[in-house]
Amino acid sequence: MSSTLQTALDWHDAGRDVALATVVETWGSAPVPVGGHLIIDEEGNFAGSVSGGCVEAEVIARAEDVIASGTPQLLEFGVDNETAWGVGLACGGRIRVFVEKLG
């Protein structure tokens, strides 16, 4: 088990509400491969990575919604080559990230 997943279990066992974000699909250049994880708790603490730049900030924000509602979300991020670096997706890559609350 990865250290990020172990941290998620530790946080959950300690009574924290936790969301797990997982890279489920990539196209082109993406900084984190399929299977990469980011965990987020109800206070906005996080560990791991699903991308970088603005993508992770958006995933963290959406994870807070998932924690509050309990409803999972499938997020998709993609940009053209001219703006890719600004949001952390080099060379116009695209990714899909599934965010779910640990129960």
pLDDT for 92 equals 63
Q: Decide: residue 59, CB within 10 A, 0-12 exposed, 13-18 middle, 19+ buried.
A: buried
What integer is the mean pLDDT of 4-23? Answer: 97
pLDDT for 83 equals 46
Is residue 29's pLDDT more than 90?
no
Dihedral angle computed from the Cα positions of residues 79, 80, 82 and 85, in that order, rounded to the nearest 10 degrees: 40
Express as a percent the part of the chain with pLDDT over 90: 67
What integer is the mean pLDDT of 61-67? Answer: 97
Domain ranges (residues) in the chain: 3-101
Question: Exposed e or buried b for every residue in 66-87, given b needs 16+ CB within 10 A?
Answer: bbeeeeebebebbbeeeebeeb
